[in-house]
Each structure stands twice: as C-alpha cells, then as structure tokens.
Amino acid sequence: MKKRKLGSSGLEVSALGLGCMGMSWSYGAAKDKKEMIGLIRAAVEKGVTFFDTAEVYGPHTNEVLVGEALVPFRNEVVIATKFGLKPASEAEANSRWSVLDSSPAHIRKVVEGSLKRLQTDVIDLYYQHRVDPNVPIEDVAGTVKDLIGEGKVRYFGLSEAGIDTIRRAHAVQPVTALQSEYSLWWREPEKDVIPMLEELGIGFVPFSPLGKGFLTGKMDESTTFDKTDFRSTVPRFNPENLKANQALIDLINQIAAQKKVSPAQVALGWLLAQKAWIIPIPGTTKLHRLEENIGGAEVELTSEDLTQIQEAASKITIQGARYPEEQAKLVGR
C-alpha cells in the first residue's frame, strides 16, 4: 500500500489505517478475539501499518487485543491510542464514555496501563480523546511533551478538538495529528479545521470515513440496530433520516458504477483525494470488508470526478445529528 506522512511531523503510515474499536465495543457485542487477531494480522500482511485503539474501548479490552495481535510486527507498525475518557462505570462493558479526566496525574497513570496492555515500551501516537474543559490544554500538551521526553510516547494528537484548542496545544507541543469525523456525509471540518491543519502542518485522521457504515450503501430506512450498537442512539440513523439521506447514497452508487468499484471505495477514494496528509481509519470486523477498504486506496478520482461529486453533493442536505446531545457537547471544544 502507498504511504503518507501525517503533516510535517515525518510520521509515515499506510494511506489507510485500521480502526479497531468495533472489534471490542460500540457496534454490538465484542467479536471473537482469535478471529480479530487474525484480521489485524491480515491487515499488516496487506500493507496496513497504522492501527487505532483507545483506553476506553472495551474498556481496556481493545488495547489488549491490538497489543497481542501486533507483537510480532511491532517494529513495522504505528500504534495510536487515546487518553482522557473513561466509562461512567468500569463494570458496564458497553457503557459509553461520559467521564473526562485529562489531569496530568491521570495521564501519567493511564499511560502506564496502555503501555502494558499494548505490550510495548512506547506509544507511537497518543491522542487526547476529548478536550477536558477543567484542564488547560497547555497542561495536557506539557504532560505529553514530558512523556515524549521520557521515551514513553513518540507523537502527540488531539481528537475532536476545536481550532483554538489545537493552536494552543501546538504552541506547547507540536500536534502531529487531529482525529475527527470526516466523510462525504460529515464535511464540517472543511470550513475551518482543514485549512488550519494545513497551515500548521498537522495531519488529519478521519474516523468513520464510511459514515459508520452508511456510505457502504447497505442501509436504508428498514435497517435496525441492537441496543448494544451505538448507532441505535444516533439521530442520523433513525428511519426518517436514513431515508432522507439516501440521496447521497444514490450519488455514490452512480460514481461507483462508472468506476466499476464499490460505494465504500468511492467514499474512501474521495477522502484520500482531498489532501495528501489525510489518512482515514475505516474499521471492520470482516476480512472481505478489509480487502474492499484497502482497494479504496487504489481508486483514482479525476478532477472531473471530484467536481461532479462536489456539484451533486452541494445540492444534498444531510439530515440528523451525528451524535446524541450529551456526546455532541464533547466535540469542538
């Protein structure tokens, strides 16, 4: 697979990474550990070198999974994990995050747990999962800077942070990457975030590049989600909004038919065409979907294709919020 660099940091990774959250958490029951280890290792064999997890996924079990899977390839891959969010109750395996803690003492505590679970002596990319309004971002960046100096972390990242926070953090410790949602059905970052990242030389790691599955074209208003599936709480996935947003799927299907590729590959190809320092991290639990997603890195969209998509997409108004109200409050701080 082709490689890309995360902004001006010099950190080079595969053009597509692998988001591992859904293997353990959030999209229904945890999947078979042995099968998921096999899937992660298959990704490495197919050229993926960038793997994403977090302390809160599981909680903790996803880091254990990723760590075990990547031990044989540790020197060949880049592992990203996150701090600063923890479940409301550690006893509730499917609990959504609700407790913020990015205090320096807490960061120093949890980094040790992540290192142990990942079976490594250094975390390649360490993101603040969500901005904690109770802790100055300068203190967060300074703590990670210290961890970098101690050799426990290589690079610093932020997730779903607002532009002012990113600038303040970057002034203390250069931010290597911002991880936030970005796709054909969530284009808000184009307004202010992407121009600022380009200015500062920060890479962009879009999560949910396939719209949490919607952009694969496999959903419609009859699609239902188990209560353990995060999407059951997301307004954008209620039947009315799924129906209203099918116009975007019709557009993607049209381009896919022209290119003789899948809708998911069009969606990933579109993201990769936006900037050379954008590295999407689609997640999957199925080998054939992994192979399909990797194929998206080979989709070449011409300037005419991109103009066609832009003109058609500009006429489509996406319906529904991308997060429930409480979680929406954690974004863009």
pLDDT tens figures, 14-23:
999 999 999 9
Confidence at residue 89, expressed as pLDDT on a 0 to 100 scale: 61
Bridge partners of 99, per DSSP, are 86
Contact 251, 308 (CB under 8 A): no
- Give the CA distances from residue 11 to residues 29, 108, 144, 156, 255, in Å, rounded to whole numbers and listed in that order: 34, 23, 17, 11, 33
The pLDDT, as a whole number, for residue 94 is: 47
The amino acid occupying position 157 is G
Whether 209 contacts 268, CB under 8 Å: yes
SS3 80: strand
- Domain 8-216+275-300 falls in which CATH fold? TIM Barrel (3.20.20)
Q: Where are the domains of the chain?
A: 8-216+275-300
Give the model confidence (pLDDT) of 25-76 as tens digits. Answer: 888 889 999 999 999 999 999 999 999 999 999 999 999 999 999 999 999 9
pLDDT of residue 93: 45
Question: What is the pLDDT, as a whole number, of residue 97?
Answer: 57
What per-residue confidence (pLDDT) applies to 26? 85
SS (H, E, C) 123-182: EEEEEECCCCCCCCHHHHHHHHHHHHHCCCEEEEEEECCCHHHHHHHHHHCCEEEEEEEC
pTM of the model: 0.94
What is the H or E stretch that residue 14 is in?
Answer: strand 12-14
Active site residues: 57
Residues of the chain with pLDDT under 70: 88-98
What per-residue confidence (pLDDT) applies to 98?
65
In the 8-state DSSP scheme, what is residue 96? P
Q: What is the distance between the alpha carbons of residues 241 and 247, in angstroms, rounded to a whole number?
A: 11
Phi, psi of 311 (to 5 degrees): -65, -40
